[in-house]
Amino acid sequence: MSTTRLLRFIGLLAAVTFITACKIGGEGEKTAEEDEEATPIPVETRLVERGEITAVYSGTAALEVDAEADVSAKVAGEIVELLVEEGDQVESGQVLARLDGERLRLEVARQLANVRRLEQDYRRNIELNSKGLVSAGAFEGMKYELESLRAALRLARLELGYTEIKAPFSGVIAERYVKRGNTITVNQPLFKITDLDPLLAYLHVPEKEFNKIKAGQQAAVQIDARPDQLYPARIIRISPVVDAGTGTFKVTVEIDSGDGELKPGMFGRISVVYDTRQNSMLVPRAALVDTDAETAVFVVEDGVARRREVTLGYANGASVEVTDGLSGDEQVVVIGQNSLKDGGKVRVIGAEPPDTRTAVEETPQTDPAS
């Protein structure tokens, strides 16, 4: 055999050997892949449930009083009685303190005497005026003077009444600025009174929520001091304009203070219920498989995983509403779904019972269906 023919034979033999080895290796890899696909992936599932889901806008705000005022003196004088202390609950019109009113009582007596004297003169001059014995000008002057004295008497009585310092509205004495025996001046504050029930909070809500928030809607307030307690509240006012600088509108929330448990200055997390849907399809948030283009879940059918694209509605921390893509009787995969492919075999190792609690969506920042 020539050298040339020998070299050709050796090359052909090497090529055949390489092709055979590749074929054997490829069949081995294919067999491994087939074995892997044939092995069911263990998953846990939960049955799609039907229930109520509530949409809520949530925000934080400081609690404020509805009414607060300094109670000031309208006349000067010495304080002779202090009838309330800080922390006392008072009613509208209740006397809080008294000033020495002796000087003003004497002024009332003087003005009363002047009125009575002139009334007698006026009655005598009525008959004289009818007979033409008193000039019309003098008679009219007496009449106007009597009206002036009567007004002065009313003023003196009014100022005497001001010696009793009264509560302008019902509330709690937050501060007392004076002591018994102090001599006070006109407009000097004596007390600060605060109405603690109800309390108010002001939410500044993004304009995209404008059509969702309505006066009269129910709300709830939670504070850090009592995280397990919810206090009832409701929306009482909505500003009709949007602040151009912040892109928000003001919502006023009235809060039941819970027998004084809530205090002004506390920060509360306020949740406003703006929609409730009954008989919605709800799935656990953990079941969702998100991509850049779509949201899907895996359902189990006869031991096979099926990928279903879904459209979402309201959501909360645990559950999401599915508005399209499911019929409502599926078992959705809640653990193991990230390893699944459409059509892959699965083995259910745990099926959790559906959560029958009401779902509540919190602080929606985008369109629910997006």
Extract the residue ranges of the chain whose pLDDT is less than 70. Answer: 1-38, 131, 317, 351-370
- Burial (Cβ within 10 Å: 0-12, 13-18, ≥19) of residue 80: middle
Domains of the chain by residue range: 38-53+277-362, 58-66+197-276, 101-162
156 vs 151: CA distance, rounded Å: 9
User: Is the CB of residue 125 less than 8 Å from the CB of residue 134?
Assistant: yes
User: Is the CB of residue 171 less than 8 Å from the CB of residue 193?
Assistant: yes
Single-letter residue type at 159: E
Q: What is the pLDDT of residue 257?
A: 80
Distances (CA, A) of 1 to 5, 15, 343: 6, 20, 59
Helices 136-161 and 102-130, interaxial angle, to 10°? Answer: 160
Q: What is the pLDDT of residue 364?
A: 42
Instruction: Give the residues across from 60 on adjacent strands.
Output: 269
Q: What is the pLDDT of residue 352?
A: 61
Single-letter residue type at 228: D
Q: Which CATH architecture has domain 38-53+277-362?
A: Beta Barrel (2.40)
User: Is the CB of residue 348 less than 8 Å from the CB of residue 44?
Assistant: yes
Question: How many other CB atoms are there within 10 angstroms of residue 327's CB atom?
Answer: 9
Q: Does domain 101-162 have CATH number 2.40.160?
A: no
E strand intervals along 207-330: 218-223, 226-238, 248-255, 267-284, 289-290, 295-301, 304-309, 311-315, 319-324
228 is written with which tokens? 């397990």
User: In terms of DSSP bridges, do strands 359-362 and 49-62 run parallel, antiparallel, or are they unpaired?
Assistant: parallel
- The contacts of residue 165 (CB under 8 Å, 6+ apart) are 71, 73, 95, 96, 97, 98, 99, 190, 191
Map residue 114 onto helix, strand or coil. helix
187 is written with which tokens? 């407009």
Q: What is the pLDDT of residue 354?
A: 53
Q: Does domain 58-66+197-276 have CATH number 2.60.120.260?
A: no
For 193, phi then psi, to 5°, come to: -115, 140
Query: What digits encode the pLDDT tens for the residues 320-331?
Result: 999 999 998 999
